[in-house]
Amino acid sequence: MSARPFRFAEGTAVVTGAAGGMGEHVARRLAERGSDLVLVDRDGDGLGRVAAAIRDRHPGLTVGTETVDLGDAGAVDALAARILGSGPDIRLLVNNAGVALGGDFARLTLDEFDRVMDVNFRAPVRLTHALLPALTARPGAHVVNVSSLFGLIAPPGQSAYCASKFALRGFSEVLRAELATSGTTVTTVHPGGIRTGIAASAPGGVNIPAEEIEQGRRDFEKLLTYPADRAAEKIVEAISRRSPRLLIGASARVPDLLVRIAPVRGPRLLAGLLGAAGGVRRRLPGRATAGAR
């Protein structure tokens, strides 16, 4: 494993979910440190706005954009092929994009469940697999996988989101161990309640009543308090240090500690406290907790 700090200006960073929220702020911080960028999101307009702002501020950098639905496996493969075909020296991959789907497992459709797994887990796996030869071509590259508070605990109503984020956490830990001697390092990020606009724009599951979706959206807004720009600063600093793991906010650190101390009773207690704080237990919106990733 390489011990030297990550060198941002040595090549290109690929950032998914870059049209807003943490992804946008991570992209801006990487540009400040000299990274060329490939920014990925399904929101083409938002992506164009972010890219234009970065180009204006950092005219010497190369900033490319890719409007892609990461829930489409073929589109992810095509994205990787375009990135590799354009020939950048890829030194950093930030798998940040994510969606969630609230509601009791019994009321979710399997298509809805699979959509969350496709975006949150299978897309990072496919993109990492495709770009890994380029990343490991010489020592010093880095991979960031953004898991969640819900990759540490599993509250009711979050079966799809928790499954995807626990899976991403496990994948990251295995990848870190496998790459330990290659000079390519891995950071797993567990943010708590990050303040973004994702709850306000969250759709709901087809079997979840509209009033439950709206109430859950309002309740979860109250839990999203940590500024996205501060979260991005911590992520970029963790990249610089090649930290294996990053917990953002007390809402991630405290649950992590409690789960370690009391692995059986701790998660139950936390799930109850989380439900009481948000008033949501079974009223979780379609994507509100994606801001808590």
Find the distance separating the first CA and the last CA of the chain, reported in whole Å. 27
Nearest to 290 by CA among 102, 31, 14, 9: 102
CA atoms within 13 A on the CB side of 192: 19
Cα–Cα distance, 32 to 285 (Å, whole number): 35
Six-digit token string for 259: 């789960």
Instruction: Tell me how far apart the alpha carbons of residues 37 and 234 are, in angstroms, rounded to a whole number.
Output: 19
- Residue 174: beta bridge partners? none
Strand partners, 191: 248
Q: Which residues form the catalytic set?
A: 161
**111, containing H or E segment:** helix 110-117
Residues 141-162: b if buried by 16+ CB within 10 A, e if exposed: bbbbbbbbbbbbbbbbbbbbbb
